[in-house]
Each structure stands twice: as C-alpha cells, then as structure tokens.
Chains A and B, each alone.
Chain A
Amino acid sequence: MKKLESKKRYVLPGDFITTAPLRLQDNVVLEGKRVISTTIGLSDVSADSVRVISLNGIYMPKIDDLVIGTIQSIFGNSWFADINSCYQGMLLGQDVFGRGSYPTTSEMKERLDKGDIIFARIANSDRQREPLISIADKNLGKIDSGELIKIPPTKIPRLIGKHGSMIQTIEASTNATITVGQNGFIVVSCDETNGLLKALAAIRMIDEQAHLVDLTDKVKKMLEFNGV
C-alpha cells in the first residue's frame, strides 16, 4: 500500500507527469509525448494508466452514476432536476408513469413537485442533450426525509473510502443512513439528533481534509471522542 502512495504527487495545471506511453484517464492531456495534468490534484500513475485525482471542479454526468437531485421545474412531459452540474438532469414523464402515458402537469406535480429530492441514475449523457436521469429502479426515487448537504463532488470517493470503509465507519458509529450521490449531494437521515450532528460533522471533516492521508483513522477518532 505504501508503495502506491509514494507514486502520488501533488500537481497543478500544466505540470508534467510522465512520458511513459500509458492509457490516459481523468484530468490529463497529451502534449507531444508528455502527459500533462489539467487540474489541481494528485497524480496517480499505475501500471497501465495515468490519471489525476482532482481536488476541485464541478460534477460532469457519467452514465450509470447514482446522483441526488432537487426538482427545479416541470416543462412539457419532463421534470428538470438540479444535479449540481452545469447541465440539468432531465427526468421523462414516461419514466415514472410508464411508456405511452401522457400525464398532465398536475399529475406530475402530485408525484414530484418543485423542491422534491430524488435519488436517480444517469440513464444517458452525451454532448448533444441534457443528461437523462431515471428513477425506475428499486432504491431509486423520491427521498422523503433527511438532511441534504453538499460537498465538492471530487471528494465523494474519499467519503466512501476503500470498499466503503469510511462511510461504513460513520454509519456504524452514528446509526445514521447516508445516501451519497456521485454529484456531491448527500442525504443524511438519523432518528437521533446527536447521531445526525455527528455524521454531519464527520462529513464536514472529510470535506476539509480530503487531501490528507490516514483520514479514516482521524474520522474514527473524532467519532469516538465525540461519543464519550
């Protein structure tokens, strides 16, 4: 594990990473033979690919991402949801009411109104149109209760941790249920106020210290300390 850590390096836009002929993943470009970072982050050179883990930036929708959105408007046969991106998520009426149905605006409002929070999947995303989202799956749909908070989408992997270790730690010690959207929206629900506050504090902490090592231990300590 240590070995992998040592390969990571802080980079800024324009910083040279490597000349090795590796597969280019996120946040890198090829200029001549040199691989260059395009953002502020941590460079990660693995055996066959190179990428930069960004420390800031907005969410770009990717197919099959699970996101949390708030309904912004109803237009024609679709809802438009804020998914914390430069594009709005488009949820088709057919997706909710079934194919071939033409729901009226009032029917749609009854099901999902402005300000409602949904847990959805990015069904399609291309350069031409607004990303299509879907709630036609189990676990997906309207979220009725909980606290919505926002962290930079680049810090979501940190919140989840390796194989979900971080989020499990928080959930176990606070009895909270945390729904995480890849877009940086998070809904935390908990029956006890104390647990809710602790979970929120832990998420804030991850937001502030996302670029530091041994974060899971630090969060664990913080949760234990508050618990006593």
Chain B
Amino acid sequence: MGGRETDVVLLDENGIRSDGRKVNETRKVTIKVGVLKNADGSAYIEFGGNKILAGVFGPRDVHPKHMSNPDTGILRVRYHMEPFSVSERKNPAPSRREIEISKVLKEALEPAVILEKFPRTAIDVYLEVLQADGGTRCAALDAASVALADAGIPMRDMVCSCAAGKAADALILDVNNEEDQAGQADMPIGYMPNLGKITLLQLDGVLTTDEFKKCIELGLEGCKQVYEIQKNALREKYFSSGDNN
C-alpha cells in the first residue's frame, strides 16, 4: 500500500495485471464443504494462492461462563495464520493484525447469523490460514459463512466477500499480494446478496469519492461471483446425489 517501490508491472499497456488477469476478474476460487470430521461444520477455500480452513462448533456451552448472554447466543471468531503461511516464519502468537481481523470478521458474520435462537450458547468459528496471498480476510469470511451453513446454523443469508482496490491508477477487482503491497488502495467488502446488505467494508489507501463508489460497485460484482461458488459448493455436498430440482 502507499505505492511501495516494486519491479513488478502491476498493469501493462493491454490492461493485463501482473498475474495475467483483467482488471475486473477475480482469481480462481474453489470451495470444499465438510472437510473436517470433528467439527460441526467446515469448509476449505482456495482463493488464488490463499488456502484457508474453517471449522465451526456449536451452538454449545459457553466457557468461561461469564461470557454467556441470557438473551442471545454469542459468536466467537478466531482468525489465525500458520507460521508457514507466509514466506518468513510468522510467530504463531495472535498478532495485533489477527486480533483485528478476528473482530471485523465476527462483526461481518453477526448480521447474518440468527443468534437469538440460542440463548446462553456460543458459536465458535476457527479460521486457519494455511497459505496467504493477499486478501485472506475476504477468503476467510467466505469460508466461514459456508462452514456456518454446513453446521446447520440458521442464517438470514450467506456472507460473501471479495476485495476491490486501486493499482497503477486503475480500479481492480480482487487485489492480490503484489497489488496490495505496491498498489494504491485495498477495499475488502463483505456482502449479503439476497438481502442487499454490506456487512464488512474497510479501506486501506486513498480513493476519490467517485472512485470509492465505483470501487464498491466493482467489489460487489466480485462478491456475487463468489456467492455463486459458495452456493455450488454447498449444493455439491447436500444435493448432488438427488434428482430433485
């Protein structure tokens, strides 16, 4: 961010980005549902070079007890990066950045999950980043909502997420690691398409008002593409052997 010097050409004269994508193209996304046997719900996502595992437990007893709420359930999210997820060893202790991402992801999921049905319980979401390549919070949010659906937790809608940003003075969809490092802006968006509500919006960098609006529009397009992939992943697990529909 902030135009760090780099040898990589972020956008060539043909409008092709450093990894061969067009400006309005996302990376390849694949999602697998139900990959963990011991979790109530789970998902594995590959979002370009990002590889993330999500496991969901609950609703279950809250420990420590004082955290429980007699009116509603609580949602707890832990985002964690493995020491081997980046090129230089990352200290496995929760960093300031991981604590922040855990918090924003929790708040991005809360509008979707119907917690009021489960007073005095907790729903735990564990997100493990196995390999990071820029845009892990978006990919983690995508995996988390699929895992929540897999756990059978009632939700108003699934949250899908994709980043948009600005690099080499052009608005781009799905910012990768190089573009994040050397680009001008990165804006992760979480979105509930069926309800038309944005649940996560962060912006690192500088955009004009006009660019900001266009950036959101671009990001929402990406979110919708991811949403279809999320739904297909769930359909594959739950409906594939059926002939209904």
Report A's interface with B, CB cutoff 8 A.
8-10, 12-16, 27, 29, 31, 36, 38-40, 42, 54-58, 60, 86-87, 127-128, 154, 209, 211-213
Query: What separation, in Å, do the CA atoms of A10 and B158 have in the docked complex?
Result: 16
> Of A8, A13, A42, A128, which is within 8 A of B154 by CB?
A13
Q: Which of B151, B193, B194, B242 has the most CB of A within 10 A?
A: B194
Q: Which of A31, A42, A86, A87 has the most CB of B within 10 A?
A: A86
Q: Is the CB of A127 within 8 A of B156?
A: no
Residues of B within 8 A of A27 (CB): 154
Residues of A within 8 A of B150 (CB): 40, 56
Residues of A within 8 A of B155 (CB): 13-14, 38-39
Interface string of B206-245 (1 = CB under 8 A from A): 0000000000000000000000000100110011011111
Residues of A within 8 A of B158 (CB): 12-14
B120 shortest CB reach to chain A, Å: 8
Q: Is the CB of A38 within 8 A of B114?
A: yes
B227 shortest CB reach to chain A, Å: 9
> Of B41, B60, B195, B245, which is within 8 A of A86 by CB?
B60
Residues of B within 8 A of A36 (CB): 156-157, 194-195
Q: Considering the complex of A and B, which 9 residue pairs feature the smallest CB-CB distances, nearest first?
A: A57-B152, A14-B157, A56-B152, A38-B154, A14-B194, A86-B59, A13-B155, A86-B121, A10-B245
Report B's interface with A, CB cutoff 8 A.
40-41, 58-61, 70, 112, 114, 117-121, 149-158, 192-195, 231, 234-235, 238-239, 241-245
Q: Is the CB of B152 within 8 A of A86?
A: no
* Count, A-B residue pairs, CB within 8 A: 95
CB<8 Å pairs between A and B, sample of 20: A9-B244, A9-B245, A10-B242, A12-B234, A13-B149, A14-B157, A36-B195, A38-B154, A40-B150, A40-B152, A42-B244, A55-B152, A55-B238, A57-B154, A58-B59, A211-B238, A211-B241, A211-B242, A212-B241, A212-B242
Q: Is the CB of A12 within 8 A of B231?
A: yes
Query: What separation, in Å, do the CA atoms of A8 and B155 have in the docked complex?
Result: 20
Residues of B within 8 A of A57 (CB): 151-154
B237 shortest CB reach to chain A, Å: 9
